[in-house]
């Protein structure tokens, strides 16, 4: 049972870090639907780097680096070229899915390194995630930088006449956002489940995306949602722990996804929508071009 | 607070000067050698119609645009603005007509956004105290913790002024300062302008229509027409009529001839109608009225008092929360917007670009927006684009829409021509009830006259017309009935002939008919 | 930006004539293939040789060409499943889920008629094959309708929903065909029962009849968008939901409708690959591969700018590339997943080229006097 709880927290860690990345980008008005792709890149390249060099540190650095690069790419498409953010995000997802399948295939199989030690029985990244949530919350709501980010996401034209560079602010968030997503991918492939497999992120990125909408752009609510989904995910993998004999194991695998749909539906109720409408960054998904 | 080159300026000294400012856009000479000069403690208004080059000049002064030729001097020093930040640093502040504020944030957050004093970690206490001091000095009252979307237009304007002052502005550009304000708020603004000029600040209001405001506030006026300065004079030597003539270039008729049409039977009856806005708050609260054939029913109000919601609920785009709507005796309270179009409702929306038309559609397809469902234009689910094209040509002809062809896409049309197309499209359906929401807003004088005459024509053709306007003169001169609206309620319904500007203005600000009469 | 005596500027395009759009799309494909050449180079293969092998296998080889055609039919159907919602401004990336459901729908018909019991079951193809088509269309449409309903009624982001539905459908197929599922192959190889011989899809010139369906739909969809009322309503909603609402177009019905139509066509794509391609006739163990392949439909739909006729050559090219890519991967001893990598490179190139649909680069000679103005400060 303890083992199950610990694994649940570790699964939550991945949702938290990836979704936090998306949240930061969205607060500045940039939507990245390609989280899954960035995670795949981070997971695959991090895995390969760690395996070839034998160093976890290098593995994580590579993952964060490729995340930053993909964030930059998304920024270039959506900020500099002013393109459709959905098209760009889709592009990054499919690029990630396609290229990592090809690049990672020769490395199919377990990582074959000593596991990263746990702290009080839980992966150290869980604690890192909590710190990241706290830092993100503090920066967004208590600092000048946070005010700038939020203003750019709400109304870039206003930010611009107040002397803030919309472009710089958005590039900053998009790069940090990519780094976190890449990091989340590497936590998956180097710590949570260190085995490379074809398209092994299996929807984590898309659930993380849904979690951001659910969180009403508040890092603490996001953490709560991630804990819920992490446990759910873990339960769907090991249903026998809690509910032995109920449903086939394939049906269990659908449960986190079905519940995601349920949560999305709940959020669209009238009560939720009035709250949600107020919290949503008003310029989300819209390119900004000064006239 | 900052000290720029304007810090120690004394009364009567020149703070800002431009020489020969010229700006070209493809096909247009927007500013043609504009010379302008103003002194500390002075209000120097710039007057001109839409398209006269006002906003170009304003954007140049604020650093949003760079002039092709000409120079700007601040306190006698030649300067060049690369962005608004340069202008802000030299002490020029802007109060935008379309408020540049983040509505989800608090007043304080808006004021300190981008300010060097904000601190790496937001110093809300210190900045709050400094801003409170500014408020006391100039007599502003505002709750710094309130969210901007909760504020009235006048309060939002105060926030913009405070934001500029806190940045150390000594010259304030005021873009259409009174446009969205209710009359009592205008009075407050005038009082604070006086307080600020008394403190040696310089004000440049840019004004299109409100000539009385120019006369009552400014010391000097510069008038622009077609990108050039046509007159520069001391305000005390001007009259409303002379200003209008310099601005338009000909004598202007201030009141339209009102037309008497024999009243017919009731077309629209509205009982106790209520609805909510997008945020879920009650926007329209139990409104009742009726319109007869051949009548124009004018609703006067400052934007945001429920008139938008009223138009939408009547057009079937918003759900009624309670009450009843009858069209020629038929209950249409719960009819869809499509059913309403088919039973004789015609709606001209205020948002002509985003709602009234589709930029990527050709004019033919745009006309189809109000016709695709008609049996005459589409049979068995197939649209007769040939017939639709012929209709479009007719509308282009009759409403003198300036366009290369009917196959041009909508976004290539100017605002005035787009409005003419929408008008033509809705009028040609010969609606029984015509809802016109801000039909002349943002148009130039020629187009305004055209649209107003068309509304009178609709009345002659025995339609019932609901006119929603923020322009009090327009409502008073066109309407058979005038209903000032305030916070979702009618403050009274007055026959057009008896409506006085003062009393209607007071009612727009929340006084009831009984109070005004008494 | 200044280059020599010229000023290089970007200008927004106001009108994009069809031929220019086509030219940009073709250029995008060429650039993607060029970039992809580096992957061959990196694996020590001459790209020209690789492309020659790919094209000659895909289009001129007696084994390869039929594979290409079958994949072409599949991709074309997947492309329509994307295009129809796309014209309404909505993203259907749920083609995999919808096509899994389409396959399940077709097999459910056969199952209900007892066709799973024996490969020699005598079922009348004239009656049962249309029923299978109906079953797959209904199942795909019903599954698509979930996303359309949630979008139309509650405005829930359709990208997240369709993607989540893909994962749910993926596991539901496993549930149906593996470990004691209803449609399990009696041999228990983790795949579905095989269709009775009598229900093998009739061939038209060696190709399953579904090719007629796919080509017929191209013309039908083109006509629908160019001429009909419903096509007009979908386009209006896609360009401006607010304006469409003003024009009396239901913001509930349009999303629902486009996802029902898209889902139904995706359902046929599922029928095609799992019940019509010669030699398969079962839901194979690697069904996930075909589901992921459907994402080529997304790219084909974007490149053909939502036009069902131009989608034909694009889908044919992509079919050839993916079939040929898989072939050279074996022949030239390259790693698995070459066709997926190509998918990724095509997509990201297209993203860049989206820019050129909206903007053009203008070279302007700088006049002497303007140069002076630029320098003085």
DSSP secondary structure, B79-91, as one string: E--SSHHHHHHTT
Predicted confidence (pLDDT) per residue in B172-184, tens digit: 898 888 877 777 7
Q: Domain for residue A214, yes or no?
A: no
Q: Domain for residue A68, yes or no?
A: yes
Which residues make Cβ contacts (< 8 Å) with residue B133, sequence separation at least 6?
A: none
3-state secondary structure (DSSP) of residue B160: helix
Q: Is the dihedral of CA A54, A59, A60, A65 positive or negative?
A: positive
Predicted confidence (pLDDT) per residue in C241-300, tens digit: 999 999 999 999 999 999 999 999 999 999 999 999 988 888 888 898 888 889 889 989
CB contact, 8 Å: A164 with chain C? no
Give the number of other Cβ atoms within 10 Å of residue C80's Cβ: 29
Contact (Cβ atoms closer than 8 angstroms) between residue C274 and residue C210: no
Return the CATH class of domain B266-360+429-517: alpha beta
All residues of chain C having their beta carbon less than 8 Å from the beta carbon of residue A199 are 292
Q: How far apart are CA B394 and CA A129, in angstroms?
A: 66
Which residues make Cβ contacts (< 8 Å) with residue B336, sequence separation at least 6?
A: B316, C248, C250
CB contact, 8 Å: A140 with chain B? no
- pLDDT greater than 60 at residue C74: yes
Predicted local distance difference test score (pLDDT) of residue B2: 44
If we measure between CA atoms, which residue out of B111, B183, B176 comes closest to residue B142? B111
Contact (Cβ atoms closer than 8 angstroms) between residue C258 and residue C234: yes
3-state secondary structure (DSSP) of residue C77: helix
Give the number of other Cβ atoms within 10 Å of residue B186's Cβ: 21
All residues of chain C having their beta carbon less than 8 Å from the beta carbon of residue B21 are none
Question: Exposed/middle/buried for B52, CB within 10 Å: 0-12, 13-18, 19+?
Answer: buried
**For testing contact with chain B, the best of C235, C246, C369 (most B CBs within 10 A):** C246
Mean pLDDT, chain C, as a whole number?
A: 88
CB contact, 8 Å: C239 with chain A? no
The answer to whether the CB atoms of A268 and C154 lie below 8 A apart is: yes
Q: Which domain holds residue A24?
A: 2-111+119-202
**For testing contact with chain A, the best of C167, C172, C291, C301 (most A CBs within 10 A):** C167
Predicted local distance difference test score (pLDDT) of residue A136: 97
The answer to whether the CB atoms of C347 and A88 lie below 8 A apart is: no
SS (H, E, C) chain A: CHHHHHHHHHHHHHHHHHHHHHHHHHHCCCCCCCHHHHHHHHHHHHHHHHHHHCCHHHHHHHHHHHHHHHHHHHHHHHHHCCCCHHHHHHHHHHHHHHHHHHHHHHHCEECCCCCCCCECCECHHHHHHHHHHHHHHHHHHHEHHHHHHHHHHHCHHHHHHCCCCHHHHHHHHHHHHHHHHHHHHHHHHHHHCCEECCCCCCCHHHHHHHHHHHCCCCHHHHHHHHHHHHHHHHHHHCHHHCCCCCCCHHHHHHHHHHHHHHHHHHHCCHHHHHHHHHHCCCCCCCCCCCC
Per the structure, how many domains does chain A have? 1
Q: How far apart are CA A201 and CA A206, in angstroms?
A: 10
Q: Domain for residue C296, yes or no?
A: yes
Mean pLDDT confidence for C40-68: 92
CB-hemisphere CA count at 13 Å for B399?
A: 28
Highest mean pLDDT: which range of A49-63, C18-32, C195-209? A49-63
Which residues make Cβ contacts (< 8 Å) with residue C180, sequence separation at least 6?
A: A248
Predicted local distance difference test score (pLDDT) of residue B207: 76
**For testing contact with chain C, the best of B382, B408, B437 (most C CBs within 10 A):** B382
Q: Domain for residue C58, yes or no?
A: no
Query: What is the dihedral angle through the alpha carbons of C81, C82, C88, C89, rounded to the nearest 10 degrees?
Result: 160
Q: Report the DSSP beta bridge partners of residue C11.
A: C360
**For testing contact with chain A, the best of C50, C158, C340, C360 (most A CBs within 10 A):** C340
Predicted local distance difference test score (pLDDT) of residue C13: 67
The alpha helices in B218-354, defined as continuous H runs, are 240-248, 307-315, 337-342
If we measure between CA atoms, which residue out of B107, B108, B111 comes closest to residue B124? B108
Which residues of B, range 34-73, sit inside 8 Å of A by Cβ?
Answer: 64
The answer to whether the CB atoms of B112 and A277 lie below 8 A apart is: no
The answer to whether the CB atoms of A144 and B122 lie below 8 A apart is: yes
Q: How far apart are CA C154 and CA B490, in angstroms?
A: 33
Indicate the residue of B340, B349, B369 with minimum beta-carbon distance to C236.
B369
3-state secondary structure (DSSP) of residue B444: coil
Residues of chain B with pLDDT under 70: 1-4, 209, 250-258, 518
* Banded pLDDT at C198 (limits 50, 70, 90): confident
CA C55 to chain centre: 20
Predicted confidence (pLDDT) per residue in C118-163, tens digit: 777 778 888 999 999 999 999 999 999 999 999 999 888 899 899 9
CATH 3.40.50.300 holds for B4-248: yes
All residues of chain A having their beta carbon less than 8 Å from the beta carbon of residue C283 are none
Question: Percentage of residues in chain C with pLDDT exceeding 90?
Answer: 56
The CA angle B146-A22-A72, to the nearest 5 degrees, is: 115
Question: Which contiguous run of DSSP H or E holds residue C347?
Answer: helix C338-358
Predicted local distance difference test score (pLDDT) of residue A275: 67
Q: How far apart are CA B442 and CA B50, in angstroms?
A: 7
C300-314: string of b/e by CB count within 10 Å (b at 16+)?
A: bbbbbbbbbebbbeb
Q: How far apart are CA B284 and CA B325, in angstroms?
A: 14
- Phi first, then psi, for residue B274 (nearest 5°) are -130, 150
Strand extents, DSSP E, chain C: 2-3, 6-12, 203-204, 207-208, 359-365
All residues of chain A having their beta carbon less than 8 Å from the beta carbon of residue C302 are 87
Pick the more confident residue, C190 or A47: A47
Predicted local distance difference test score (pLDDT) of residue B255: 55
Distances (CA, A) of B264 to B395, B432, C112, C186: 28, 12, 68, 81
Predicted local distance difference test score (pLDDT) of residue B149: 85
Q: Report the DSSP beta bridge partners of residue B23.
A: B31
Per the structure, how many domains does chain C have? 1
* CATH classification at residue A19: 1.10.3470.10
Q: Domain for residue C365, yes or no?
A: no
Predicted confidence (pLDDT) per residue in B457-488, tens digit: 998 888 999 999 988 888 888 999 999 998 89
- pLDDT greater than 70 at residue C377: no
Q: Domain for residue C277, yes or no?
A: yes
CA distance C57 to chain B (A): 43
**pLDDT tens per residue, chain A (291 residues)?**
788 899 999 999 999 999 999 999 999 999 999 999 999 999 999 999 999 999 999 999 999 999 999 999 999 999 988 888 988 998 999 899 889 988 998 899 999 899 999 898 899 999 999 999 999 999 999 999 999 999 999 999 999 888 888 999 999 999 999 999 999 999 999 999 999 988 888 889 999 999 998 888 999 999 999 999 999 989 888 888 777 777 788 888 899 999 999 988 888 777 777 766 667 888 888 888 765
Q: Report the DSSP beta bridge partners of residue C8.
A: C363
Q: Domain for residue C272, yes or no?
A: yes
Q: Which domain holds residue C173?
A: 72-305
Q: Domain for residue C346, yes or no?
A: no
Token pair recorded at residue C102:
């389409």
Token pair recorded at residue C175:
């549930």
CB contact, 8 Å: A87 with chain C? yes
- Phi first, then psi, for residue B430 (nearest 5°) are 50, 60
- Phi first, then psi, for residue B256 (nearest 5°) are -75, 150
Where, residue-wise, is CATH 3.40.50.300 in chain B?
A: 4-248, 266-360+429-517
3-state secondary structure (DSSP) of residue B435: strand
CA distance A278 to chain B (A): 7
3-state secondary structure (DSSP) of residue B65: coil
Token pair recorded at residue C214:
């796919």
CB contact, 8 Å: A264 with chain B? no
Q: How far apart are CA C205 and CA C207, in angstroms?
A: 6
The answer to whether the CB atoms of B104 and A282 lie below 8 A apart is: yes
């Amino acid at each position: 049972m303890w083992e199950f709880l610990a694994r649940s927290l570790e699964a939550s860690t991945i949702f938290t870090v990836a979704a936090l990345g998306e949240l930061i980008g969205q607060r500045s008005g940039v939507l990245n639907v390609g989280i899954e792709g960035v995670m795949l890149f981070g997971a695959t390249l991090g895995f390969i780097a760690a395996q070839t060099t034998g160093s976890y540190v290098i593995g994580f650095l590579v993952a964060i680096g490729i995340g930053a690069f993909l964030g930059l790419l998304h920024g270039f498409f959506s900020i500099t070229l002013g393109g459709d953010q959905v098209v760009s995000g889709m592009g990054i997802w499919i690029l990630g899915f396609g290229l990592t399948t090809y690049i990672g295939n020769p490395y199919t199989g377990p990582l074959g390194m000593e596991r990263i030690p746990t702290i009080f029985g839980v992966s150290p990244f869980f604690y890192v995630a909590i710190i990241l949530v706290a830092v993100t919350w503090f920066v967004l709501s208590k600092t000048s930088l946070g005010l700038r980010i939020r203003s750019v996401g709400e109304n870039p034209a206003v930010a611009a006449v107040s002397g803030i560079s919309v472009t710089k602010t958005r590039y900053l968030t998009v790069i940090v956002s990519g780094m976190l997503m890449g990091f989340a991918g590497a936590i998956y492939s180097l710590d949570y489940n260190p085995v490379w497999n074809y398209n092994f992120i299996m929807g984590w990125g898309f659930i993380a995306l849904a979690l951001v909408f659910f969180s009403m752009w508040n890092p603490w609510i996001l953490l709560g949602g991630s804990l819920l989904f992490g446990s759910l995910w873990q339960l769907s993998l090991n249903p026998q722990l809690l509910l032995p004999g109920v449903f086939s194991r394939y049906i269990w695998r659908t449960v986190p996804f079905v519940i995601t749909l349920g949560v999305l539906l709940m959020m669209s109720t009238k009560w939720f929508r009035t709250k949600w409408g107020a919290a949503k960054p008003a310029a989300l998904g819209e390119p900004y071009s000064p006239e | 607070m900052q000290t720029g080159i304007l810090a120690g300026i004394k009364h009567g000294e020149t703070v800002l000067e431009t020489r020969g400012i010229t700006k070209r856009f493809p096909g247009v000479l927007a500013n043609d050698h504009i010379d302008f000069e103003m002194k500390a403690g002075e209000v120097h208004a710039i007057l001109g119609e839409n398209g006269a080059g006002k906003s170009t000049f304003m954007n140049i002064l604020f650093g949003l645009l760079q002039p092709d030729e000409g120079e700007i001097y601040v306190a006698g020093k030649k300067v060049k603005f690369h962005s608004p930040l340069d202008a802000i640093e030299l002490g020029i502040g802007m109060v935008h007509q379309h408020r540049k504020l983040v509505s989800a944030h608090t007043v304080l957050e808006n004021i300190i956004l981008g300010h060097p004093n904000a601190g790496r970690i937001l110093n809300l206490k210190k900045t709050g105290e400094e801003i409170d001091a500014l408020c006391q000095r100039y007599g502003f009252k505002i709750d710094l913790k309130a969210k901007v979307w909760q504020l009235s237009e006048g309060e939002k304007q105060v926030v913009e002024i405070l934001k500029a002052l806190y940045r150390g502005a000594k010259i304030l550009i005021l873009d259409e300062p009174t446009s969205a304000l209710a009359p009592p708020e205008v009075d407050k603004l005038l009082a604070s302008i006086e307080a600020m000029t008394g403190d040696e600040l310089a004000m440049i209001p840019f004004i299109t229509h409100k000539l009385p405001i120019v006369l009552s506030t400014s010391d000097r006026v510069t008038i622009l027409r077609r990108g050039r300065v046509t007159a520069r004079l001391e305000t005390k030597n001007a009259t409303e009529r002379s200003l209008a003539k310099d601005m338009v270039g000909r004598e202007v008729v201030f009141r339209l001839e009102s037309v008497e049409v024999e009243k017919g039977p009731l077309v629209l009856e509205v009982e106790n109608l209520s609805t909510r806005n997008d945020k879920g708050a009650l926007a329209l609260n139990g409104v009742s009225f009726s319109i007869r054939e051949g009548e124009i029913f004018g609703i006067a109000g400052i934007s945001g008092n429920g008139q938008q919601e009223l138009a939408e609920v009547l057009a079937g785009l918003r759900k009624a929360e309670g009450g009843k709507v009858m069209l020629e005796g038929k209950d249409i309270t719960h009819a869809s917007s499509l059913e309403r179009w088919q039973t004789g409702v015609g709606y001209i929306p205020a948002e002509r670009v985003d709602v009234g038309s589709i930029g990527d559609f050709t004019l033919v397809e745009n006309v189809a927006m109000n016709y695709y469902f008609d049996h005459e234009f589409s049979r068995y689910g197939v649209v007769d684009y040939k017939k639709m094209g012929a209709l479009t040509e007719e509308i282009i002809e009759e409403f003198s829409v300036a366009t290369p062809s009917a196959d041009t896409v909508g976004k290539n049309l100017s605002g005035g021509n787009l409005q003419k197309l929408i008008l033509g499209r809705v009028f040609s359906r010969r609606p029984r009830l015509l809802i016109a929401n801000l039909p002349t807003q943002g148009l130039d004088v020629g187009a305004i006259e055209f649209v107003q005459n068309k509304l009178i024509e609709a009345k002659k053709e025995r339609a019932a017309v609901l006119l929603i306007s923020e322009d009090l003169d327009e409502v008073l001169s066109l309407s058979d009935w005038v209903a000032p609206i305030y916070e979702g309620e009618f403050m009274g319904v007055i026959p057009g002939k008896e409506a006085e500007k003062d009393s209607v203005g007071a009612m727009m600000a929340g006084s009831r008919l009984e109070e005004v009469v008494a | 930006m200044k280059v020599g005596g010229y000023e290089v500027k970007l200008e927004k395009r106001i009108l994009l004539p069809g031929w220019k759009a086509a030219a940009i799309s073709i250029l995008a494909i060429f650039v993607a293939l060029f970039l992809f050449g580096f992957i061959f180079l990196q694996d020590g293969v001459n790209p020209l040789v690789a492309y020659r092998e790919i094209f000659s296998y895909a289009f001129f080889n007696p084994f390869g060409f039929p594979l290409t055609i079958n994949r072409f039919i599949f991709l074309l159907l997947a492309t329509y499943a994307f295009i129809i919602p796309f014209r309404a401004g909505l993203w259907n990336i749920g083609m995999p889920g919808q096509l899994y459901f389409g396959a399940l729908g077709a097999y459910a018909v056969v199952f209900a008629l007892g066709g799973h019991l024996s490969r020699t079951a005598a079922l009348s193809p004239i009656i049962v094959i249309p029923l299978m088509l109906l079953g797959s269309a209904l199942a795909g449409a019903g599954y698509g309708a979930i996303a359309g309903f949630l979008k139309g009624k509650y405005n829930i982001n359709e990208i997240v929903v369709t993607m989540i539905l893909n994962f749910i459908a993926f596991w539901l197929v496993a549930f149906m065909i593996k470990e004691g599922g209803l449609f399990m192959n009696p041999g228990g190889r983790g795949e579905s029962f095989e269709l009775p011989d009598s229900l093998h899809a009739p061939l038209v010139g060696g190709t399953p009849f579904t090719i007629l369906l796919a080509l017929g739909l191209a013309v039908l969809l083109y006509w629908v968008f160019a001429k009909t009322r419903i096509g007009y309503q979908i386009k209006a909603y896609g360009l401006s939901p607010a304006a469409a609402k003003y024009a009396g177009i239901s913001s509930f019905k349009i999303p629902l409708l486009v996802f029902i139509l898209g889902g139904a066509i995706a359902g046929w794509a599922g029928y095609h690959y799992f019940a019509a391609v010669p030699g398969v006739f079962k839901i194979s163990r690697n069904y996930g591969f075909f589901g992921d392949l459907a994402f080529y439909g997304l790219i084909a739909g974007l490149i053909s700018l939502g036009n069902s006729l131009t989608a034909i050559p694009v889908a044919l090219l992509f079919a050839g590339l993916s079939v040929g890519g898989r072939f050279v991967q074996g022949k030239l001893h390259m790693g698995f997943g070459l066709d997926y990598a190509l998918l990724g490179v095509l997509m990201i190139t297209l993203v860049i080229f989206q820019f050129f649909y909206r903007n053009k680069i203008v070279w302007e000679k700088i006049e002497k006097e303007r140069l002076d103005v630029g320098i003085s400060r």
